Chains A and B, each alone.
Chain A
Amino acid sequence: QKEVEQDPGPLSVPEGAIVSLNCTYSNSAFQYFMWYRQYSRKGPELLMYTYSSGNKEDGRFTAQVDKSSKYISLFIRDSQPSDSATYLCAMRRSNYQLIWGAGTKLIIKP
């Protein structure tokens, strides 16, 4: 079993919809939870990160961590075609390397 599980999709939704992207993990020692966005033929870029449990909001994006369930989510409100990309979750414990999810391909239809 992988340490981080993420559905590769693709997930296709109409413009303006609320999108929910998720990852589950098995290592309870993970403390830092990140979401990277990767456009086609580009490298991943950090979208946002959360420390421990709770929510973090940045514009139309909200990251949520539920450590009791070992489950993290990224919500996108009022989705736009420009949000079409692959979203990768990544997490780490203390001063260790990142452990990556497989990435979910998101398609926002105009």
Chain B
Amino acid sequence: DAGVIQSPRHEVTEMGQEVTLRCKPISGHDYLFWYRQTMMRGLELLIYFNNNVPIDDSGMPEDRFSAKMPNASFSTLKIQPSEPRDSAVYFCASSLRLAGGEEQYFGPGTRLTVT
């Protein structure tokens, strides 16, 4: 398996523009997670899905952020409108289960810069 795939790897956009980040989880994994990582706040869980259904979106910072998982092999994280404080590295991760020492497999991340 190719692992978790994210696109784009880098995104530079202007304030107010819409940004869409994409993720393809590992085949067969039932859980998908979206994280944001910054120097100030570390790794933050934004939302996670189980079998394509959003389970916990309490980490989504505000209504400007939305996430979807239309099928088992694809998810998007959208920011509209984007703001400079959204600049961060966004990771997608997937896992088989949400239990025990089950590993979360991370993608390479999307480095977002909002000017």
Question: Nearest-CB distance from B92 to chain A (Å)?
Answer: 9
Q: How far is the CA of A42 from the CA of B111 in the complex (A)?
A: 11
Cβ of B99 < 8 Å from any Cβ of A? Answer: yes
Q: Which residues of A contact B54 (CB under 8 A)?
A: none
Chain A count of residues within 8 A CB distance of the other chain: 22
* B109:A32 contact, CB within 8 angstroms: no
**Inter-chain contact B43/A97, CB cutoff 8 Å:** no
Q: Are B101 and A43 in contact (CB under 8 A)?
A: no
CB-CB contacts below 8 Å: A93-108 with B: 94-98, 100-103
Q: Is B56 close to A, CB under 8 A?
A: yes
| Interface SS of chain A | loop
A76: interface (CB < 8 Å) = no
Known: A43-B4, A44-B106. 19 other contacts (CB 8 A): A32-B101, A34-B101, A41-B109, A41-B111, A42-B109, A43-B109, A44-B43, A44-B91, A44-B104, A45-B106, A49-B101, A51-B100, A51-B101, A95-B97, A97-B45, A97-B98, A100-B42, A100-B45, A103-B42
B residues bordering A, Cβ < 8 Å? Answer: 4, 33, 42-43, 45, 48, 56, 91, 93, 97-101, 103-104, 106-109, 111
